[in-house]
Structure 1
Amino acid sequence: MSVLRSLASRIQGIAEISKANVSRTSWQSSWSMFSQFSQSKQNIIQRQSDFQFQFVRYATKKAQSSRTNDSNSKGKRLGLKAAEGSFVKTGEIIFRQRGTQFYPGENAGIGRDHTVFALEPGYVRYYRNPFHPKRKFIGVAIRPGARLPSPHWQPRVRRLGLVPLTDPQEIERERTHVSTREYRGRILKKQRIQQEIADKAEKAKLRAAKQAAKTKAGPIIQANTTTNKTAIA
């Protein structure tokens, strides 16, 4: 637009000059007009060569009313669920994670989504194991003052669920209590032992009867042999 404006201004100036020099001869006026026009053309070409084009790349992504920009998933609520020293129940989640930032320690388990949970009721402990210095562990201590990890060569402390009894009747009932499986096992074992004893007694009777039959048949055979010998003689 600036180039066209300059060209229009030049043409207007030439027209004014031609009007002022009407008294000149026609060939002089035409020559002067041609020379001025050529000069203005050269100036325009020079300006076009000096002009630089700049290409601007505009954004092609929609800023509004686009469903692709709205795809934001919900938070997975990862992280710490039970702090150090807090009491947890069996199956309670202690730490949610992606990958094994923390490994399950004593009385703790891990799910297929790497969630660490409690296997026993107790108190949460975050610790390191000297046998695995690069790993961090989460465990559950059964006693409030217990520290983890427990000594390597000592047995682990386990909850047996036993309660001290003070009533003599309950003590006697607990002492004589037998589960159904154990009771049936005892009966079957007793029946099997009795059957084995009866089988052994039966075999002993048969063995004694055979021995008695052999002793009775022995002298008869001897007598027959002697009589045969005497008869031949």
Structure 2
Amino acid sequence: MKCHKCCLLSFFLIISVSLYSYNLKAQESILQDISYLYVEKLIATAKENYPRLKSLDSEIEIAKKDLNIAKTSWLDPFSFQYVSRSNDANANAVNLTTADILTGYQFGISVNPGSLLSKPGNVKKAKEQINIARYNKEEYNLTLEAEVKKRYFVYLQYKNSLTSLNNIYLDAQNNFNVVKLAYQKAETTLEQYNAASTTFSQAYQTKLQGEANYVSAKASLEELTVKKLEEIK
């Protein structure tokens, strides 16, 4: 009986050490598992597919079109007019109603000074709108790059934890089966049985939480790439 108790205590100690080793390993191994080449591929894919960047590209194109409109509207302040007068035999007579004394075609030009003076400012404003649109895109590119890296590191952390969590779960399951059989044979106490059951339950819940964290981290990263990670090689 003493030997069996010692074995159980040793196993619980192993489980505790395994949990500690899992946390320590997760902290140490993630750095050597990071693929910066893959990170760059993720960033490139996100920049190519993420809708927000496409929207910013459209804003730049709209600003460019506004600039072209501003440049080609220099003639707007000018108004051109012409009048046609008859050249018939009676054309030399003065029209007492309209007081017209000229015949043939008459042309006129009018200028709106306010509109003319505002044109340089409108062109300059349109150019600045292009700069603002470009700066907004550059800023968002930096934000997107940082967010992709952040989510990739979290994804990698949870991915690496799955193997350790599964091993801990299997060890706890095997131990519980051993203790359960021993308890049924009256070879161990209820306290030891409950301890093994609790350890097994905790290992199972930790495994489920680890799997959920991994799936969530993967989905969060794929939200930015707009593609499955399996499709990004």
TM range (shorter): under 0.3
More strand by share: 1
TM-score (normalizing by structure 1): 0.26
Structure label with greater radius of gyration: 1
Q: Which has the higher contact order (CA 8 A, sep 6+)?
A: 2
More helix by share: 2
TM-score (normalizing by structure 2): 0.26
